[in-house]
């Protein structure tokens, strides 16, 4: 096949599935076959069909963030990650579905309907990058871009049986990523294999003068790290991530993965991250606080949909009450409250202090000679569509093992470690800041050793 033929084939396959009798609703937009072009036929991603989460500004497509308020919105500029992927030869074949403004863990919060899990269509694909994960898992594209503020790349990767990476905060430019919670947001990559996810990360990583939080450190050889092995590495297993009530089948899969790593030459050490219990409350104060500020720009004046009203205030009110969904409004209210005079220190200040303690937990185990940590990615496999929609607390708990990496800014990857009752399960490797290569070496070892373990 010519480099372009692969992308044209992917577009055909997406259209056939999504317009057929059993759509996944993984895509919000699909490229016109005539618009496809390969910018670089020698690049690391030459001719690779790429799916892009719809909160990344991509020229030639709308960028809706899964929200009504941005229906029909076209960004005048391109995100750095998409620009870099295209420059390496990737062909953007479509924009993927997500929880509105990336707020959610199931993709059910999209204003354009939920995405279904290709392994079991009665279940969610995870979220918020559920469209990207489902597209990769269904074989429509080999890799996809997502964003991870509290687990939104890793958790859907786990639910869909694929690989998802959240890099170190600052490794990848956020320019053109629509902001949710800026101190936690990071673009991530999803792939069918560790190598695919690493290849895309290699291309999009590195300093960008357009993002003040992007870091100047050189990007290590990520692709080369995948086959490097784990000989001599110390892998920590935090007790707090294997709590008493954990599904025994999940515990078995984690133990099997650890035995494999041990056999490959790694040393396994039990460790403690004592402030883990503050992670969910801390995250669900800080993320909404930042969101309440970031989302104030959707007022009908500059972007997307405007609700026509007689005066300015009614126009703001009308636009925001009809344009934003219920979960987004819940977060704006929570965040506004947490930042309000009189409560600021009690909520926002306390959460900031908890964030510092969670970060110090990681720093001290890494300083103590632990090279990386291994945990389950999520406490359960994919749940049923609708199951958690009436209980936000239950939904928030899906993120209990993933939010800590965002709070601390460390990199994490989810890699398949088997399945429970036919549903895929992910294991998470967390590494010290800037050591994505270490993390990829471990994930690569697991991938070669674990093929279809069933608990
Ligand atoms: N599920 C988490 C939330 O709702 C994480 C989302 C994300 O990483 N974008 O905030």
Look up 106 and say whether it is catalytic. Answer: no
Residue-level pLDDT at 451: 72
Residue-level pLDDT at 67: 98
Ligand 1 atom at minimum distance from 103 CA = 4
Residue-level pLDDT at 377: 98
How does residue 364 score in pLDDT terms, banded at 50, 70 and 90? very high
Distance CA 137, CA 159 (A): 10
pLDDT beyond 80 at 43: yes
Residue-level pLDDT at 392: 86
Residue-level pLDDT at 417: 97
- With beta carbons less than 8 A apart as the criterion, state whether 201 and 436 touch: yes
More confident residue, 68 or 3: 68
Nearest CA to ligand 1 atom 10: 103
pLDDT beyond 90 at 402: yes
Residue-level pLDDT at 427: 98
Cα 283 to averaged position of ligand 1 atoms, centre (Å):
9
Cα 449 to averaged position of ligand 1 atoms, centre (Å):
30
Residue-level pLDDT at 453: 57
Give the number of C-alpha atoms closer than 13 A to the C-alpha of residue 104, restricted to the C-beta side. 36
How does residue 2 score in pLDDT terms, banded at 50, 70 and 90? confident
pLDDT beyond 90 at 393: no
- With beta carbons less than 8 A apart as the criterion, state whether 276 and 241 touch: yes
Residue-level pLDDT at 186: 98
Look up 314 and say whether it is catalytic. Answer: no
Average pLDDT in the 191-199 region? 98
pLDDT tens sequence across 408-436: 999 999 999 999 999 999 999 999 999 99
More confident residue, 306 or 219: 219
- What pairing do the DSSP bridges indicate for beta strands 163-166 and 143-148? unpaired
- What residue ranges do the domains of the chain occupy? 3-225
How does residue 167 score in pLDDT terms, banded at 50, 70 and 90? very high
Annotated catalytic residue: which of 6, 53, 95, 166? 53
The two three-digit tokens of residue 375, written as one number:
């945990």
Average pLDDT in the 108-128 region? 98
Superfamily of domain 3-225: Amidase signature (AS) domain (3.90.1300.10)
Distance CA 347, CA 308 (A): 36
Q: 33: Cβ–Cβ under 8 A, 6 or more apart, which residues? A: 8, 11, 12
Look up 128 and say whether it is catalytic. Answer: yes
pLDDT beyond 90 at 65: yes
Annotated catalytic residue: which of 105, 128, 378, 414? 128
Residue-level pLDDT at 454: 59
Give the number of C-alpha atoms closer than 13 A to the C-alpha of residue 66, restricted to the C-beta side. 36
Among 55, 96, 104, the mutation site with the greatest number of ligand 1 atoms within 8 A of its Cβ is 104
Ligand 1 touching residue 287 (CB < 6 A): yes
pLDDT beyond 60 at 1: no
Residue-level pLDDT at 452: 56
pLDDT beyond 70 at 173: yes
Residue-level pLDDT at 305: 84
Q: pLDDT above 70 covers what percent of the chain? A: 99
Strand partners, 418: 425
Q: 3-class DSSP state for residue 430?
A: strand
Ligand 1 touching residue 152 (CB < 6 A): yes
Ligand 1 atom at minimum distance from 147 CA = 9
Distance CA 359, CA 351 (A): 12
């Amino acid at each position: 096949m010519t480099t372009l033929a692969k992308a044209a084939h992917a577009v055909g396959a997406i259209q056939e599935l999504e317009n057929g009798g059993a759509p996944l609703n993984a895509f919000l937009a699909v490229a016109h076959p005539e618009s496809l072009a390969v910018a670089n036929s020698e690049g690391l991603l030459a001719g690779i069909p790429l799916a892009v989460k719809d909160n990344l500004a991509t020229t030639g497509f709308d960028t809706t963030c899964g929200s009504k308020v941005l229906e029909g919105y076209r960004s005048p500029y391109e995100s750095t990650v998409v620009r870099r992927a295209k420059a390496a030869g990737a062909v953007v074949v479509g924009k993927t579905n997500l929880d509105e403004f990336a707020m959610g863990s199931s993709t059910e919060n999209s204003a354009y309907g939920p995405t279904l899990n290709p392994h079991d269509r009665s279940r969610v694909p995870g979220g918020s990058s559920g469209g990207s994960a489902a597209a990769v898992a269904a074989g429509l594209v080999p890799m996809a871009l997502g964003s991870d503020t509290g687990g939104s790349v890793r958790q859907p990767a786990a639910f869909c049986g694929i690989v998802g990476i959240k890099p170190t905060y600052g490794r990848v430019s956020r320019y053109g990523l629509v902001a949710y919670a800026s101190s936690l947001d990071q673009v991530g990559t999803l792939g069918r294999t560790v190598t695919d996810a690493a290849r895309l990360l290699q291309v999009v990583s590195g300093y960008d003068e357009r993002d003040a939080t992007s870091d100047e450190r050189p990007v290590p050889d990520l692709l080369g790290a995948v086959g490097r092995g784990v000989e001599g590495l110390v892998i920590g297993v935090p007790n707090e991530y294997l709590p008493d009530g954990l599904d025994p089948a999940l515990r078995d899969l984690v133990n099997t993965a650890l035995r494999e790593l041990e056999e490959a030459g790694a040393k396994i050490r039990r460790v403690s991250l004592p402030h883990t219990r503050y992670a969910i409350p801390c995250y669900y104060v800080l993320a909404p606080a930042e969101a309440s500020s970031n989302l104030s720009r959707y007022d009908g004046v500059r972007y997307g949909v405007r609700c026509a009203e007689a005066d300015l205030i009614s126009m703001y009110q009308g636009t925001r009450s009809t344009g934003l969904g219920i979960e987004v409004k819940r977060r704006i209210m929570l965040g506004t409250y947490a930042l309000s005079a009189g409560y600021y220190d009690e909520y926002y200040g306390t959460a900031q202090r908890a964030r510092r303690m969670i970060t110090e937990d990681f720093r001290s185990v890494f300083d103590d000679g632990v090279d990386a940590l291994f945990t389950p990615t999520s406490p359960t496999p994919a749940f049923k569509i609708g199951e958690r929609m009436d209980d936000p607390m239950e939904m928030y708990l899906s993120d209990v093992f993933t939010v800590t990496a965002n709070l601390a800014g460390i990199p994490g990857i989810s890699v398949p470690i088997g399945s429970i009752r036919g549903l895929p399960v992910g294991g998470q490797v967390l590494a010290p800041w800037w050591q994505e290569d270490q993390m990829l070496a471990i994930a690569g070892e697991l991938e070669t050793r674990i093929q279809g373990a069933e608990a």
